Amino acid sequence: MKVVMIFDQTQAGLGGKENPMLPLGGKNMVIGSANMLDPYLKKNDMQIAACLYCGDGFFEANKEEVTKKMAAMCKKIGADAVLCGPAFNYEGYGEMCAHVGEFIEQHVGIPTVAAMSKECASTIEAFKDKVNIIDMPKKGGIGLTESLSAMCELAKMKVDGVDTTAFVEAHCY
């Protein structure tokens, strides 16, 4: 099962908050924080086909264009699922995850899962009924392992077309 990851500049390993205007890009390989998902991806028979990235400032300035290009790239790659995040408590990245995730699932039909912490409250409130958002801890918080596992498990369930109701109630906002 092919998975595409959506990252901001920090999670892509291409800069910190000082580099928010990193333009949209992608690599057909594992980059940045994708390695921390590896055991959970393997457990669910998933592999990363590509990692797409964009600075959260660049996304905010070019939201519609970036969203449509990321969706087109996911379709071209032939992704079975898209994982947006983990965004931790980074509000700009959280908004990108939710916005892009919703668009990809609604307009391209690829199952999508986002993840962010409760500190991204306004994004969670705006998108929780439009895209699945896994409840995760803020950066350095407790419970990261469970959240990363839940991201992968929910994506697999959605791809397999099984009932996710109870899982979503237990792990999502």
SS3 sequence of 127-169? HCCCCEEEECCCCCCCCHHHHHHHHHHHHHHHHHCCCCHHHHH
What are the structural domains, with CATH classification, of the chain? 2-171 (3.40.50)
For 30-74, the pLDDT digits (tens) are 999 999 999 999 999 999 999 999 999 999 999 999 999 999 999
Q: Which residue has the tokens 């407790």?
A: 142
17 band by pLDDT with thresholds 50, 70 and 90 = confident
* Whole-structure pTM value: 0.97
For 102-123, the pLDDT digits (tens) are 999 999 999 999 999 999 999 9
